[in-house]
Amino acid sequence: MQLTVRPQNRVISLIPDRPILEAALAAHMNLPHSCKGGNCGSCRAHLVSGQVSYPRGRTLGLSEAEYRAGEVLLCQAVALTDVVVEAREIRRVSDVEIKALPCRVERLERWAPDVMGVYLRLPAIEDFQFQAGQYLDVMLPGHRRRSFSIASPPHDAGLIELHIRQVAGGEFTSAVFDTLTVGDLLRIEGPLGHFVYQPVDEVTAPLVLVAGGTGFSPIKSILRHVLESGVRRPIHVYWGAKRELDLYQSAWLMARVPHFADLRVVTVLSEGVGEETQRHRAGWLHDAILQDFPDLHDAHVYAAGPPQLIAALKEHLPRQGLPLAQLYFDSFDYAPDEQSRT
Ligand SMILES: Cc1cc2nc3c(=O)[nH]c(=O)nc-3n(C[C@H](O)[C@H](O)[C@H](O)COP(=O)(O)OP(=O)(O)OC[C@H]3O[C@@H](n4cnc5c(N)ncnc54)[C@H](O)[C@@H]3O)c2cc1C
Ligand code: FES
């Protein structure tokens, strides 16, 4: 069976019984997507012809009205016939070549009980280009993949920095904590995703960078890209976590503040606020942003982290004027494996 993507009219072969997006990514076609779990709606496309099914049921990312209007969620829909879809515009990111590469673990740093800094060295002859905010997939046996955002900025990509949170019972993230050692080889594929910094002309428009937990990883890439390439505009970083020790690079972040007059940092703890209250705010990230910005009309908000954070921002920030087109996000969801673990 075949997939045709308009307006590019690119044709690829589908993988039997697997979501359409998976075949597109395997064919190095970087269609818009984020969570791959059916929740965020980023992979929505218009079904021009053909039939699809939803083996896991229809999910939050597609409303009843959108379904009736002929929209499909490419990360969940499995084709029953040849299909033709119209995908939203693929921005400049698609010009970046997606590569499959071996890379060596150069350094491991335990930043918190459940957060590991992993530094990867790419083969010297390979030129790995990406944009600030993108992610890569670590390939596991059986064509299975695990997504992690790149924390390094494009201008400093000698070592690829990843921030990996251990998921209880998680196959790959537990291996990172238990068995991965310096010198090990990992296979990666990337860069992927459309969560990238979009330059603007209006230098007064606030840039609001929002991170939940290890969502700090792509936010760090965007922040370093903006600060170190001399972009001058008001930058507000909001980083939220449960407890202070989850803000695993707050010292690095705070050390930047005295050097950049336009940079402001707010850290927010949802649990365990005690003696540290003076350093951090208590509560939820979206409430802190709403309190600080009565009018978000001209703001550009970039957010990464758990799906609950992204959902709260999508729901609440437009109430204070943020146009949804100015909310860019990467939702750290997960898609259950269906292929056998080999
Ligand atoms: C675009 C994107 C970028 C991401 N970037 C990062 C990043 O920079 N840093 C980072 O730490 N994580 C990131 N994630 C999440 C990360 O991909 C998953 O946590 C990881 O794939 C889990 O792999 P695993 O093999 O350990 O777990 P699995 O063996 O796949 O999962 C075991 C079980 O754990 C649960 N689980 C798995 N993942 C999660 C999760 N994220 N949250 C809650 N429960 C889960 C599920 O119940 C699952 O069945 C990102 C996800 C996406 C989609
Ligand atoms: S709903 Fe498909 S990528 Fe998020």
268 and 180 in a common domain: no
8 and 82 in a common domain: yes
- Predicted pLDDT at 272: 64
- For atom 28 of ligand 1, the residue with the nearest CA is 170
For ligand 1, the distance from its centroid to the CA atom of residue 10, given in whole angstroms, is 31
100 and 46 in a common domain: no
pLDDT in tens, 285-312: 999 999 999 999 999 999 999 999 999 9
For ligand 2, the distance from its centroid to the CA atom of residue 136, given in whole angstroms, is 16
For the chain, how big is the Rg over CA atoms in Å? 20
DSSP for residue 9: T
Q: Is 338 within the bounds of a domain?
A: no
Q: Is 198 within the bounds of a domain?
A: no
Domain ranges, residue 308? 207-331
327 and 218 in a common domain: yes
Q: Which ligand is nearest to the CA of 133?
A: 1
Q: How many CB atoms lie within 10 A of CB 158?
A: 11
**Spatial distance between the Cα atoms of 137 and 253, rounded to a whole number of angstroms:** 26
Strands 71-73 and 207-212: unpaired
Q: Give the mutation target among 35, 42, 131, 167 for probing the ligand 1 site: most ligand atoms within 8 A of CB.
A: 167
- Predicted pLDDT at 64: 82
Q: Which ligand is nearest to the CA of 335?
A: 1
User: Does 334 contact ligand 1 (Cβ within 6 A)?
Assistant: yes
**Spatial distance between the Cα atoms of 222 and 209, rounded to a whole number of angstroms:** 8
DSSP for residue 89: P
**CATH label of the domain that carries residue 104:** 2.40.30.10
Mean pLDDT, 10 residues at a time, over the chain (342 residues)? 90 93 85 81 91 85 84 94 82 65 96 98 88 94 89 93 96 97 95 89 91 98 95 95 95 95 95 73 95 96 95 95 94 63 29
**Spatial distance between the Cα atoms of 301 and 235, rounded to a whole number of angstroms:** 10
- Predicted pLDDT at 192: 87
Q: Is 341 within the bounds of a domain?
A: no
Boundary of a domain, candidates 57, 90, 123: 90
99 and 24 in a common domain: no
- Predicted pLDDT at 236: 98
139 and 68 in a common domain: no
271 and 211 in a common domain: yes
3 state DSSP class of 163: strand
- Predicted pLDDT at 201: 83
End-to-end CA distance of the chain: 26
pTM: 0.85
Q: Number of folded domains in the chain?
A: 3
pLDDT in tens, 175-226: 999 999 999 999 998 898 889 999 888 888 999 999 999 999 999 999 999 9
